[in-house]
Amino acid sequence: MNISKKAALPAVAIAAAAVAALQLFMYDSEIIIAQATLGSIPVELIAEILITVTLHAFFVLVIPLILIARKNITAGYAALALSLAAYVQLTTDLSLIGMAVTAIAFSILAVWAISKALEWVRYLRAR
């Protein structure tokens, strides 16, 4: 299994779990009504939920998987965070895009600061 496939599997799992959790919350009332009236969940409702989760996860994963396949793994996961934040905003009106952009910016800043600190330590050791 090559690097892009190994990096893509966790991305698919993260997106599928997030989309499935949101869709189960969206279908919660229909599930409760179906259980109250029929005693169980009808197969049609289960199929509708599975199809919805699959389609929404596909649309959330299009750009991140393209980036991961092109060996831009970090950019792929950053795009996954942004696309999941946009999906949450579209489905629940809860704005997470600003927090996702801020988290990505702080991550970039932290990596830059750590690399500069390591360069400084190497410089001091060499002196």
Residue among 76, 59, 58 at smallest CA distance from 67:
76
Can you give the pLDDT at residue 56?
A: 92
pLDDT in tens, 87-114: 988 888 878 888 888 888 898 899 999 9
Backbone angle region of 94, left / alpha / beta, with phi > 0 → left and psi within -120 to 50 → alpha: beta
Concatenated DSSP letters of the chain: --HHHHHHHHHHHHHHHHHHHHHHHHTHHHHHHHHHHHSS--HHHHHHHHHHHHHHHHHHHHHHHHHHHTT-HHHHHHHHHHHHHHHHHHHH----HHHHHHHHHHHHHHHHHHHHHHHHHHHHHH-
Domain ranges of the chain: 3-95
Task: Convert the pLDDT of each residue in 53-89 to its tens digit.
Answer: 999 999 999 999 898 888 888 888 889 989 999 898 8
Q: Give 91 or 2, the one with higher predicted confidence.
A: 91
pTM: 0.77
Q: Can you say whether the dihedral through the CA atoms of 112, 114, 120, 122 is positive or negative?
A: negative
